Amino acid sequence: MVHEMKYITRDGKIEGKDSLQDRFLQAVYGSRAGRWLIRPFISPAVSRLGGWFLDQSLSCFLIRPFVRSSGIDLSLCEKQEFDSYNDFFTRKLKACARRIDRNPDHFISPCDSRLSVYRIGEGLRVPVKQTWYRVADLLRDEALAKRFDGGYLFVYRLCVDDYHRYVFPDSGYQTGFRKIKGVLHTVNPAANDVCPIYKENSREYGILHSDHFGTLLMMEVGAMMVGRIENHPGHKRVRRGEEKGYFAFGGSTILVMTQKDRVNVAKEILNHSAQGLETRVLLGEMVGTAAGDR
């Protein structure tokens, strides 16, 4: 299946176009031969090797062409000169570059991304890009999965030109870390037609006992050439908008699960998702509101 890598803005404008990366991945995952050839590159060992190279100063030659082709504004970053490609990729933005919505009743996006939202329905199965996944398969924990039955699954898909640091969507207490080893498929939709990437990919998650939205689960999913998911450790009290961690190089995905009757999703995002369209959102932006008794 050929995917048009387009997304929709909050006000309904269709934007985006297929990149060279998108076309390459569609070709690779769209054929049996391509999927066979890609197998060596989805192993964590190869991603670690690629990550090692991108940590070296030699990789700096990749930065300027990528900045130009992606239209990245380095003036919004804390620094404009970098020691390696991964130093650039994990760059920090200035505090003024993103506005954190501080309204306690507003549920915010943890990252810059393309967002789809789905109701976690009967049987705890959720659709992600025309493929169905059981929440229990994602978590490898049947009892934990049941806690989110009737809630929402927020799927934040980060592309390589997105800002790859992410924050907590509310204040609260962070607990329950778990890492799940796996291979590292791309999280590009081209792969999802043939590989259950959100079950197979390396990932980790934690629980946030939030102040305004009940219990939240936040999962980071690694992707091809993402050798590291760097979460700041600790069972601790956190603040809305505080940095939770960052991804090393590559496209990535963050999944956030909410409990039943705790969050109302912004109407336009829910409507877009029902039409199979991803909505462009930015870190700190309101994507829902508090619902039910708190």
Cβ count within 10 A of residue 80: 11
Task: Give pLDDT, residue 217.
Answer: 97
Looking at residue 229, its pLDDT comes to: 84
Among 264, 128, 136, 144, which Cα is nearest to 197's?
Answer: 128
- Catalytic one of 55, 112, 162, 170: 112
CA nearest neighbour of 208 among 255, 270, 251, 267: 255
Query: Annotated catalytic, 22?
Result: no
How many domains are contained in the chain?
Answer: 1
Query: Which three-class secondary structure state does DSSP give residue 119?
Result: strand
Domain extent for 62? 1-294
Catalytic one of 59, 202, 252, 273: 252
pLDDT given at position 54? 81
DSSP 234-269: -SEEE-TT-EEEEE-SS-EEEEEE--TTSEEEPHHH
DSSP three-state, residue 108:
strand
Residue 196 and residue 218 in contact, taking contact as beta carbons nearer than 8 Å: no
pLDDT, tens digit (0-9, with 9 covering 90-100), for 213-243:
999 999 998 765 444 788 998 889 999 999 9
Q: Could you give phi then psi for residue 66, rounded to 5 degrees?
A: -70, -40
- Residue 112 catalytic? yes
Of the candidates 180, 183, 182, 197, the one whose C-alpha atom is nearest the C-alpha of residue 139 is 180
For all residues of the chain together, what is the average pLDDT? 80
Ranked by mean pLDDT, which of 126-135, 156-165, 262-271, 285-294 comes out on top?
A: 262-271
